[in-house]
Amino acid sequence: MRDVVITGIGSTVFGKHRDLPIEVLAVDAAAQAIVDSGVDRERIGALYLGNFVSGPLNGKEVLAGIVADSLGLPNIPCTKVEGACASGGIAFRHAWLAVASGLCDAVLVVGVEKMMHASTVEVTSALNCAMDNENDGTTGLTFPGLFGLAWVAHAQRYGTTRGQVSAVVKKNKQFGVTNTLAQMGRKLTDNEIEESTEICDPLRLFDCCPPSDGAAALVLTAKSMKSSSSQSPVDVLFSAQTRGAARIAGHPDMCSFDATVQAAKLAYAATGLTPQDVDVVELHDCFSIAEIVDSEDLGIVPRGKGGVWAQDGRTGLGGEVTINASGGLLSKGHPVGATGVGQVYEVVRQLRGEHPNQVEGAHVGLTHNLGGTGVACTVSILRRGT
């Protein structure tokens, strides 16, 4: 496998882009990434596009080809990949593999979703495509239901308190204030969180990520390829993709997602790194409790201590590890197919030393993207370029 670097990044603001067609969002982010990388577009050998529900919500598929056409890329393989909320992470992994395997010298990866124009019923219905409705749907569970159960289970087993969970919300919403790409940064009090609309007990409105429109993009190149970028390349050390149970009843433990545990193990084993080597993490906080569960599954925080660490500020700026300095899904937003690519975008900004919520001396970063009821997961590890 060849060494791979990220030489270019691009992103739209995450939020409302009601009047722009979905491919315009993707092209905007992609064009930024190409310019940032300085790569000659004739050298781009493949395009991977992560998207979840452009069919149901935008009446449009073959987005990978449409985006490549709009960008004037050559006659290259253009592939949409889908794995529910992990679609972006899967696209990133395939771009990495295409370069690492020697198939291409440069690959463009784009993640995109457009949801805000649709009604709540339409969006909920589309998001439920990530669940095996014929099985889980009959239980009445939706995604807030699943993560509400996780919260209750975590509280019962580890004594996790509402105040600890709210600490995650406060941290991520605060990060969003200074990340100009974020959809809804806000300084919140415990009271505001806990008195917000009940969604699915114990989850309140501020415990849930919003639907979003947005796109993010990256250019990956072989490290050996001469780059004209003025930016420091960031090393992609590994990207793991795993599968967990496809139905809720298949999860042996509501306090953990096996796909995350396995993907993290693969990534640490392949890189020789440990969780303690990681300085910055962008993880899949689709709900506040998810950040606690994910941080434990990744080994970043000791099992059962996710809430305590959040409340003690150990996962904030200046803590042992900084989680979701972008604001995370909770605050930056969750344009589903874009999320996994956007996470890498944020970690690259950290490793370049140019993040609005910069972690001093950030050297190693990790991204974690989780799909459906934990059915798909990617974990990728990046390092400041050498």
Do 241 and 259 meet the contact criterion of CB atoms below 8 Å apart? no
Residue whose token pair is 């390092």: 383
β-bridge partners, 113? 214
Q: How far apart are CA 304 and CA 263, in angstroms?
A: 19
Instruction: Give CA 237 to chain center in angstroms.
Output: 17
Cα dihedral value 290, 294, 296, 297, nearest 10: 130
Closest distance of CB 118 from its own copies, Å:
13
**Is-catalytic flag, 85?**
yes
Q: How far apart are CA 191 and CA 205, in angstroms?
A: 12
Which residues are at the interface with its own copies (CB under 8 A)?
21, 23, 52-56, 59-62, 64-66, 68-70, 73, 75-84, 90, 93-94, 97, 101-103, 125-126, 128-130, 132-134, 241-247, 250, 258-259, 262, 371-372, 375-376
Closest distance of CB 64 from its own copies, Å:
7
Cis peptide before 202 (omega within 30 of 0): yes
Q: Which is nearer to its own copies, 54 or 315 (CB)?
A: 54
Closest distance of CB 305 from its own copies, Å:
25
DSSP label of 203: E
CA distances from 346 to 116, 200, 355 (A): 23, 30, 7
Token pair for 144 = 């807030």
**Is-catalytic flag, 363?**
no
Closest distance of CB 90 from its own copies, Å:
6
How buried is residue 320: exposed, middle or buried, by Cβ count under 10 Å (0-12/13-18/19+)? Answer: middle
Please tell me which residue in 284, 334, 355, 368 is annotated as part of the active site. Answer: 334
DSSP state letters, 108-152: EEEEEE--TTS-HHHHHHHHGGGS-TTTGGGGT--HHHHHHHHHH
Closest distance of CB 117 from its own copies, Å:
13
Residues recognised as catalytic: 85, 334
